[in-house]
Amino acid sequence: MSKKFKFLLGISYLSVLSIFLYFIFDNIQINRLDDFSYYKEFQSDLNEYVSDNVLINLIYFFLFTVIWISLLGFGSPILIFSGILFGQWLGTLVSVFSISIGALLLYSIGNFFFKDIIKSTLEKRFEKYIHLFQKNEFYYFFIYRFIGGLGVPFGLQNLIPILFRMKKINYFFASFFGFIPSFFIMNTIGAGLNSYIEQANSFSFLDLVLSPEIFLPILMFVVLMIVSLLIKKRFFSNAN
């Protein structure tokens, strides 16, 4: 069962990744990747394409992200991309909803089909945290999401609640609200990158980093990391 699951998951993941990369690279001119004007043209065409059919593109993005996350896909590139496509506010909204639902779907699939495998694989590794979540699953899982999952890979973060039989409604809303701060920052960076390409005449890494659209969300991210470390020390240090 374990080998079949890994094989099926691997094939599904590679299939979705291949489709995603095909649609991206099918429209990319490799020989112009060192030409900044090419990125400006691409950004302009992308903005026009999205704005012509925002609702349809939101639906496509939503469905892709739900499937991607349910197949143990990583989240950070999705967040940057949603900020580029839809801006910081709409990008945050669609990414929080889609990733929360994708995570819930992965949790439901894992809990229904692979509970025993996941417990035998992860229980000893995360045993020190289980009793904390059992005290108040919504409260501690919200904090867990807020601080980035204690450094645990995102796919595993979504499966850990299987170990303490978390209610699905608590899982979804703790994830949804816990994701918002970091997701907003990442979408803001994506939107800032889009804005920089639109306004700049030539590329300068220093100008990019120091532009308010990029520098401020990076500063917010640093503050969030510091707050997360303090919260981790406050709520999870006794579990170490």
Q: Which pTM was predicted? A: 0.82
pLDDT at 79 over 60: yes
How do residues 101-115 score in pLDDT, each as one tens digit? Answer: 999 999 998 887 777
The ranges assigned to domains in the chain are 2-26+33-239
Neighbours of 14 (CB within 10 A): 11
Would you call 46 exposed, middle or buried from its count of C-beta atoms within 10 A (0-12, 13-18, 19+)? Answer: middle
Q: How far apart are alpha carbons 155 and 10 in whole angstroms?
A: 13
Among 65-74, 136-145, 197-206, which is the least confidently predicted range?
197-206
pLDDT at 41 over 90: no
How do residues 14-31 score in pLDDT, each as one tens digit? Answer: 676 677 667 666 666 666
* Among the listed residues 75, 81, 80, 69, the one whose alpha carbon sits nearest the alpha carbon of residue 185: 80
Whole-Å CA distances, 57 to 27, 39, 62, 137: 17, 21, 8, 35
* Among the listed residues 94, 25, 90, 26, the one whose alpha carbon sits nearest the alpha carbon of residue 65: 94
